[in-house]
Structure 1
Amino acid sequence: MTTAACMAVGTACFAVPGAQALSISATTGSIALNSGSGVQTVQPDGSGATTVAGIPNSGGISTAWAPDGSRVVSGGQATDQLATARVTGASSPVTVGWPQGSTRGSTYQDAVYWSDGSYLLSSTGSELLYGPSDNSYDPQPLLTSVQEPAADCDTQPTTSPYGTVAFTRTAPCGAATSAIWTYDPTADTVTQLIANAADAEYSADGTQLVFTRAVDGVSQLFTAQADGSGVKQVSSDAADHLHPSWDPAGGRIAYDSRDTATGATTVRVENLADGSTSTISSTGEKPSWQPVRDNTLDRVYGTGAIGIDDAASRWTFDTAGAAHQDGLIAARSAVLVNKDNATYAAPAVSLAAEKQAPVLMTSTNAVDASVSAELTRSLPKGSTVYLVGGTNLLGTGVADQITALGYKALRLDGTDLAAVSARVATQITAAPKWVFVADGSDYHDPIAASTAAGALGYRGLGVVLLTRGTTIESSVQNYLNSLDPATTNLVTVGTNALTAMETTPLSKQWSFWDVSGSSNEITAVNLAKFWWAAPNVATVQDTWTWQNAVAGNAVTATYGPALWSTVDVLSSNSAAYLAQESASVQNVQTFGGNDAYSVQNRADIGNAIGISSTYLSTVWAAGGNLPAPAATTAKSAASPLTTARTAVPAAPASPAAPAAGSASRSLIDAHPARTGARVSQR
């Protein structure tokens, strides 16, 4: 979602090119408390106590909210587990286990969401750990042994929407005093921020900290600017003030008030404007204030002479030769497919994503006027236009017209669908890191597989190969036989592809991952779980309209998974996946008009990714163009996704599957998200 899109819905947000809005503000919701036997929520006045299902919290640790308020994280059934669950609708619980390998400590003591919900950041009482919020891989140490000396204990992490982490460091462990330190993921540095302080929490906008400090033997509340300046004491009564939590709207702080004589604890709220306080609970403790924030649904659709392919291109790519528009990228090439042939279009998704190109759909014997117009708008003259398929799909006249428009026409053809997929794969790379194999008899699995391959992005090394049912044609066999199974990862998508790989004799022995399901929708969900860890963006496609999926997935593959759904309602498996990923997914993109997505379908999306559909802002991009900006001006700042997601260390590579792509520390290089046992050829 672009900056302009943020302004159009009147939302204060950050923009990520071609992706989603990241909100930096939130309004006030309920307050989560450790109830002694789990987690409960109450209203800010203490009323409406409700138990959160799926959070045993046997260790009695603090609770924290996802950035949009849809989920909480706290302790699991055992003290070496964390549990997250939704607070509305089905609880959709996620359990995070203890990391494998050497780790200081043996129990979780604190946990918070980080990087706009993509990660969970926790403490063992000694060191800080991080891992994806959907538990797609095990937690691992956040800091190096140099940054976090073994003699020191780091606890009580808190995260800024800008990506910075603040935490309490006691040096050495057991010392009488501690300090607030920060970790900057961009610079990969740790710095002491505030001496003689503990238990900090960032305000929702990341500009302030609240923390505790002992004054005459009593723990009091203090506030400071995020850079550590402007320290101010804001409490002074005789009770210990512990576990402070900001009101997301600002101006109030919830905290534990513990009687220093009896140890009795009540949860109170202080109004910073006048210093007044009120009690909200005498049975709970460790308050955490819920942020309430809108998520975004981007509706991209064709209108008039602009088809869905043109709309997807306009939604993503700058106008060639014109001033750059925030949130768009430059097209480096284009991919043409026949507008009436679904399966031959499937390999175009990965080709387009890895060549930074739109997929445009045209007639067999001539370039449609709308395609010609979009090529001229988006693509610099002299660029390559790939024609996917033989002259029976895109005739010689199409190639001639492309050349006449000032582009280089490069045909990727073959004797059949399998041969075309092998030719497209060769054009992407002769040495792929990831190969996805799917049955080309139906378009659903090939499009899903091609989307996963395209997720590796510009100059990525992912390809899709298509079988004919359970048969691997000679062209695909030849491509596979040219590869080294020891350095190439292979994934079968769907049961026919699995059978084909298991039973077809190849010149080399392969072991591979099987991702399949009892329906196309379930296969796509399983592929999403396998390939993407805690994504911020997801695409939902109408299962009946392949054109929407090919055009849309080609421009969204690098940001997150694509799911299939029926028109009338959001399909149950896709809804369950989005609900489980609701901590991180804050933007869903759809491609197609109201005939592809009913009102109920759109409401279901809002209910799945947020507190409810009430908290869903919709951007209507007719023809791929944004509506006029609303009066509210978007806050300008660097994106926390760009800052934190590219700087946070990547997931540890599976021993059987080296991390794909470049050596950068971005999450996209952590594929696959979940690695299980591989299948071997018979």
Structure 2
Amino acid sequence: MFTRRRAAALATAAVLAAVGTLATAPGALADEAGPWPGTEGRILTDGPVLVDPATGRTTAVPGASGNHAAWAPDGSRLVTAWSQISSVRPSGSSKITLPWAEGMRSSAAYEDLAFWWGGRYVVFATGGQLAYGPSDGSWAPTPLLSEALEPAKVCDEDPTVSPSGLLAFSRRIEGCSDSAWIYTYDGTTNTLKRVLRNAEQPAFSPDGTKLAFVRKDADGNAQIFTANADGTGVRQHTNGPRWYANPSWSPTGKRIVVDAHTSPHSSDVHTTEYVDLATGELTRVPGTPQGSNPSWQPLRKNRTGRVWGSNAYNTNLASSRWTWNKIGGSVPGLLDAKAAVLVNQDDMAYALTAPALAGKKQGPVLTTPKSGLSTAVKSELKRALKPGASVYLVGGTSILSGNVAAQLKTLGYVPKRLSGADRYETSVKVARSVTGAPKYVFLASGTDYRAALPAAAAAGADGAGSAGSVVLTSGNKLTASVKSYLNSLNPDKTMIITVGSDAKYALTHTAFSRWPSRYAYYPITGSTDAALSVAVAKFWWTAPSSVALAYAGAWRDGLSAGAAMNVFGPLLWTSRPALSDETKSYLLRESASTSFTVAFGPTASVTASTLNTAGSSISASGTQFVYHEYYNGTVPTSAQTGTFSARTNGGQPATVARTGPVGADPHLEPLKRLHRQ
């Protein structure tokens, strides 16, 4: 089902109602990876301080400060709240500060932090109201619940999240001093359910089936209880005169770590302890760790992969098999092709817009010789695409001969040629085939695939529909056909996005007779190929779960990567033999949400060392990722069960691209630039 490919632009809680049916990239999970049962790492307490649960040794996180500390689902990042919310790696590196929340009823402090939807968002409480925002700080947090679900008289606190995205929190009905109930919020239906009374500080178990929480016993002492996620099966796990607070499950689900207090007063002596759920034994963490809000680090293994064939042409075929189901197939995570896009395997110029077209038309990009369909391409079309479907030919008969169209008809397909006098007019034909009223248009150099392919991948990222496409500049100039196309648009209604310095120059040094004298556009620039691809990723994707990696010197691999992954995440360039610094920095920044990096092409293009660095960058450490090869696009038998069954990623949403016209997406407003003709 195509709706599993990606989510539309976020509109707070309205979008959360749609995310439950979405999927992550094909092959994204392997048998060895995943959040359950997980490995137990260090305990995080306010400060933030890292505590070894075996020895009690404490280590302050360098350069970080704040309270309400919480781990990303894979343990690669942590968040704390001081004046603002900050996210850092456990080493203290790669710090991100989230913007101030917008649209809240008060400017109270931020507290009770938790990662949501596989690390893509951070949800928190402020002034008794729940808010959420992307973990990479790409736009400002906003209220989570509507006024109907969170009226002013209630006070919501202590959000916790299950692996499937179900959120639980404590709610006080008549103000923040009342006794609390625990509610769950289902983003797929946008509904609340009250599950436990006289209960607060909920914490989901790692598998999402149970809740730990705090409730006062008959003597008025706060104790630790557990229950099923629906509120049934309540069990008490601590007792006696002491008070317990802030429960957090160990990643194995066998223990719960807590604050243990001698009294309810803030000045009392408190220690970090954990209760064994099987025996009921309470154990104090050695040493003197006294930070509050303990959170046990989940060491989840992420994954890397390589999609490749014996040469660049076979890598292209592998990318199609890796993404698209065979006819009648139903492999979870694979998509059903509705069309295909054909380009000349040896002509880069006419291939640059293909990923955008393929994303809109819902099918693979396949490369074939000018003279006719190769035997391998014929086989792949017959494998993935039903007869009667459209196959788009990009370029005239000098690019893909008439024999190609004739062969397609013989196979039972409907050839549709998109052709202009040159690559630039052809890009306009492609854009018009997507929509006559675009919400956005990317502009990139038709002589620089390193700019054009990341732009085309972004343009195709919102999948089926008619949001927009990419057109090409002739270096730093606009041809008459592209100028005429842009002149037909209204920049007040269509986002104009330039990728690279050439495209920016071409736009801003052209006069448009139908445009206002002062118009807005969105420039994306980078000093290197990798930096430019990263800049596109930062602009267009919010906290992606998957990324594609290709060698900047191999346009065919970049084409395959952009076509196979555009609906799942950005195309990132790397140098050789080491991972480009800009790409590494981006992966470190996005490590809370990114669980999968896949390279396209052989080790001669993206080296094993490069991919290992990428795996370390998205994971808690260099040992916390697994690698699989997808030679010819096939998932190895040893990994099929875990790979295929986990492709839906527990119902978590796919990559979210920030698309929309000016005025409809305030998150892009800070990136807008004004230009006067």
Specify the alignment match of 2:240 in structure 1: 237
Partner of 1:122: 124
Residues 481 and 299 (structure 1 numbering): CA distance in 2 closer, same or farther, change over 3 Å?
Answer: same
d(CA) in 1 for partners of 2:196, 2:545? 32
Q: CA deviation at 1:447?
A: 0.6
* Equivalent residue in structure 2 for 1:583, among 581, 592, 608: 592
Q: After alignment, is 220-229 or 650-659 more displaced?
A: 650-659
Deviation at 1:404, TM superposition (A): 2.1
Amino acid at match of 1:527: V
Give the residue type in structure 2 aligned to 1:476. Answer: V
- Is the counterpart of residue 552 in structure 1 residue 527 in structure 2? no
Which of 561, 570, 575 is the matching residue for 1:566? 575
Aligned to 1:150, the other structure's residue is in SS state: coil
SS, match of residue 268 in structure 2: coil
2:432 to 426, 435, 456: 426
**2:503 is aligned with 1:497:** yes
Q: Partner of 2:194 in structure 1? A: 192
Instruction: Give the Cα–Cα distance (whole angstroms) in 2 for the partners of residues 98 and 44 of structure 1.
Output: 34
> Are the aligned partners of 2:343 and 2:367 in contact in 1 as well (CA < 8 Å)?
yes
1:134–1:205 CA distance, 2 compared to 1 (3 A) = same
Change (3 A) 1:533 1:633: closer
Whether the aligned pair in 2 keeps the contact of 1:62 and 1:74 (CA below 8 Å) is yes
Deviation (angstroms), 1:645: 6.5
The answer as to whether partners of 1:470 and 1:496 remain within 8 angstroms in 2 is yes
Aligned 1:609-624 pairs, distance under 5 A: 609-624=618-633
SS at match of 2:163: coil
Q: Where does 1:363-374 land on structure 2 (aligned, <5 Å)?
A: 363-374=369-380
Q: What is residue 27 of structure 1 aligned with on the other side? A: 39
Seen in structure 2, the aligned counterparts of structure 1 residues 352 and 533 have a Cα distance that, compared at 3 Å, is: same
> How many angstroms apart in 2 are the aligned matches of 1:651 and 1:179?
36
Structure 1 residue aligned with 2:422: 416
Distance in 2 between the 1:47 and 1:472 partners?
A: 65
Matches within 5 A, 1:22-61: 23-25=34-36, 26-34=38-46, 38-57=47-66, 61=67
Aligned pair partner of 1:451 in 457, 473, 477: 457
Highest relative contact order (Cα 8 Å, sep 6+), 1 or 2?
2
1:644 shift after superposition = 5.7
SS at match of 2:594: coil
Contact 2:540 / 2:659 at 8 angstroms: preserved in 1? Answer: no
Secondary structure at 1:294's aligned position in 2?
strand
Query: Structure 2 residue aligned with 1:66, among 54, 63, 72?
Result: 72
How far residue 259 of structure 1 moved from its aligned partner, in angstroms, is: 0.8
Q: Please give the secondary structure, in 1, of the residue aligned with 2:412.
A: coil
What residue is the counterpart of 1:180 in the other structure?
A: 182
Determine which of 253, 256, 265 is the counterpart of 2:256.
Answer: 253
Structure 1's 582 and 460: CA in aligned 2 closer, same or farther, altered over 3 A?
A: farther
Q: Distance in 1 between matches of 2:116 and 2:527?
A: 35
State the Cα distance separating 1:282 from its structure 2 match.
Answer: 4.0
CA drift at 1:595: 1.1
In structure 1, the partner of 2:9 is none
Given the alignment of the two structures, is residue 390 of structure 1 paired with residue 396 of structure 2, yes or no? yes
Whether contact under 8 Å (1:116, 1:641) holds in the other structure is no
Corresponding residue for residue 10 of structure 1? none
Q: How much has 1:618 moved relative to structure 2?
A: 1.6
For 2:262, give the aligned amino acid: D
Give identity over the alignment, percent. 37
Q: What SS does structure 2 have at the residue aligned with 1:278?
A: strand
Q: 2: CA distance between counterparts of 1:652 and 1:402?
A: 36
Q: Residue 330 of structure 1: CA displacement?
A: 1.5
C-alpha distance in 1, partners of 2:642/2:503? Answer: 50
Q: Write the mapping of 1:123-522 to structure 2, written as runs, cut at 5 A.
A: 123-215=125-217, 216-260=219-263, 263-280=268-285, 281-303=288-310, 307-320=314-327, 322-507=328-513, 508-509=515-516, 510-522=519-531
Shift of 1:176: 4.0
Q: Are residues 652 and 388 of structure 1, via their aligned partners in 2, closer, same or farther at CA, if it must alter by over 3 Å? A: closer
* Residue 3 (structure 1) aligns with: none
Q: Look up the SS of the partner of 1:286 in the other structure.
A: coil
8 Å contact kept, 1:256–1:267: yes
Q: 1:658 matched to which residue of 2?
A: 664
Deviation at 1:640, TM superposition (A): 5.8
Deviation at 1:74, TM superposition (A): 0.8
Q: 1:527 aligns with which of 519, 536, 547?
A: 536
The 2-side partners of 1:249 and 1:165 are apart by 20
Structure 2: 5+ residue stretches without partners:
1-21
Partners of 1:318 and 1:324 within 8 A in 2: yes
Answering whether residue 548 of structure 2 is matched by residue 543 of structure 1, we say no
1:634–1:273 Cα change, 3 Å: farther
Maintained 8 Å contact 2:104/2:143: no
Task: Name the structure 2 match of 1:678.
Answer: 673
Counterpart Cα distance in 1 of 2:573 and 2:431:
24
Q: 1:341 to 1:651 in 2, by over 3 A?
A: closer
Aligned to 1:663: none
Give the letter aligned to residue 130 of structure 1. Y
Residue 138 to residue 653, structure 1, CA distance change in 2 (3 Å): farther
> Does the residue aligned with 2:124 lie in a helix, a strand or coil?
strand
Is the CA contact (8 Å cut-off) linking 1:137 and 1:651 kept in structure 2?
no
Q: Deviations over 1:571-595 (max 9, x none)?
A: 1100100100000001112211111
The question of whether the paired residues in 2 share the 8 Å contact of 1:501 and 1:681 is answered with no
- 3-state SS of paired residue (1:577): helix
Q: Which residue identity does 2:372 align to in structure 1? A: A
* TM-score of the aligned structures, taking structure 1 as reference length: 0.90
- Distance change in 2, residues 1:652/1:499 (3 Å): closer
State the 1:30 CA deviation: 0.7
Q: List per-residue Cα deviations over 1:465-504 (Å, max 9, x = no partner).
A: 1011111001111111222222111100000111111011
Q: Could you tell me the TM-score, scaled by structure 2's length?
A: 0.91
> How far does residue 381 in structure 1 lie from its aligned partner after superposition?
1.3
- What is the rounded CA distance, in whole Å, between the counterparts of 1:625 and 1:651 in structure 2? 28
Is the partner of 1:222 in helix, strand or coil?
strand
In the TM superposition, residue 353 of structure 1 has moved relative to its aligned partner by: 1.1
Indicate if the aligned counterparts of 1:165 and 1:182 stay in contact, CA closer than 8 A.
yes
Distance 2:556 2:658 in 1: 36
Instruction: Tell me how far 1:358 sits from its aligned partner.
Output: 0.9
Classify 1:488/1:555 alpha carbon distance in 2 versus 1 (closer, same or farther; 3 Å): same
Structure-2 change in CA distance of 1:305 and 1:49 (3 Å):
closer
Closer, same or farther in 2 for the Cα pair 1:651/1:398, shift >3 Å?
closer
**Pairwise CA RMSD:** 2.3
> Measured at CA, do residues 271 and 388 of structure 1 come closer, stay the same or move farther in structure 2, by a change above 3 Å?
same
Structure 1 alignment gaps of length 5 or more: 1-13, 660-669
Aligned counterparts of 1:396 and 1:311: Cα–Cα separation in 2: 26
Aligned partner of 2:440: which letter? W
Q: CA deviation at 1:565?
A: 0.2
Q: Can you list the C-alpha shifts for 1:522-544, whole angstroms capped at 9, x where unaligned?
A: 11111111111111111111111
Cα 1:580–1:652 shift into 2, 3 Å: closer
Letter in 2 for 1:145: E
| Amino acid aligned to 2:150 | E
Q: Please report how far the alpha carbon of residue 632 of structure 1 lies from its aligned counterpart in structure 2 after TM superposition.
A: 7.0
Q: In structure 1, the residue corresponding to 2:367 is in which secondary structure?
A: strand
Residue 12 of structure 2 is matched in structure 1 by none
1:594 aligned to 603, 623, 630, which one? 603
Greater Cα shift, 507-516 or 190-199: 507-516
Q: Cα distance, 1:425 vs. partner?
A: 0.8
Measured in 1, the distance between the counterparts of 2:550 and 2:502 equals 22
Distance 1:240 1:635 in 2: 45
Please give the alpha-carbon distance, in whole angstroms, between the structure 1 residues aligned to 2:261 and 2:623.
38
